[in-house]
Structure 1
Amino acid sequence: MAFRIRYHYRKQQKEIGYANDKHHSLYDAIAAAEGVDLAEFRRMETQLANVSRNDRKTLKEFREEYFRKLGFSQITIFREE
């Protein structure tokens, strides 16, 4: 079964396909679909991961907040039927 990602970007609802072999995460998939450069995000994410080694909650909150600032909201992933 394939996955789909539904999200809002700049007040428009959008939906894209998602495959684990093409993207590292669903955030990578939506950034690629919208043409967003994630170089700065990757740099900051790596620094945060080094500081908070076993704190996955902090990394998740960082990702969600960063993408919220970029204009993404209501990001959900679901299986196609």
Structure 2
Amino acid sequence: MAFRIRYQYRKQPKEIGYANDKHHSVYDAVARAEGVDLTEFHRMESQVANVSRNDRKTMKDFREEYFRKLGFSDVTIIREE
């Protein structure tokens, strides 16, 4: 089954295709589509993971807040049938 990601970047609605084998996460896919460098994000994400001891809520909150600051919002996965 194919997936699409619908999101807003700097208040512009956008939609892209998504494949699990090409991207680490949905957020990596949207950042790559917009040409955003995530080197700093991955470094900070690793530190948060080490401190939070795999607390999923902390990781999710960190990820969403970081991408909100980059200008992304309303990131939604859509299944194509």
Give the TM-score of the pair, scaled to structure 1: 0.97
* 1:14-68: CA deviation from partner (whole Å, max 9, x where unpaired): 0000000000000000000000000000000000000111311000000000000
* Amino acid in structure 2 at the alignment position of 1:50: N
1:17 aligns with 2:17: yes
Q: Which residue of 1 aligns with 2:42?
A: 42
Quote the sequence identity (%): 83
Aligned equivalent of 1:52: 52
Runs (4+) of structure 1 exceeding 6 A deviation are: none
In structure 1, what residue type is equivalent to 2:29? A
RMSD: 0.6
Question: Counterparts of 1:49 and 1:42 in 2: how far apart (Å)?
Answer: 10
Partner amino acid for 2:30?
I
Q: Normalising by structure 2, what TM-score? A: 0.97
Distance in 2 (alpha carbons) for counterparts of 1:79 and 1:65: 25
The gaps in structure 1 that reach 5 residues or longer are none
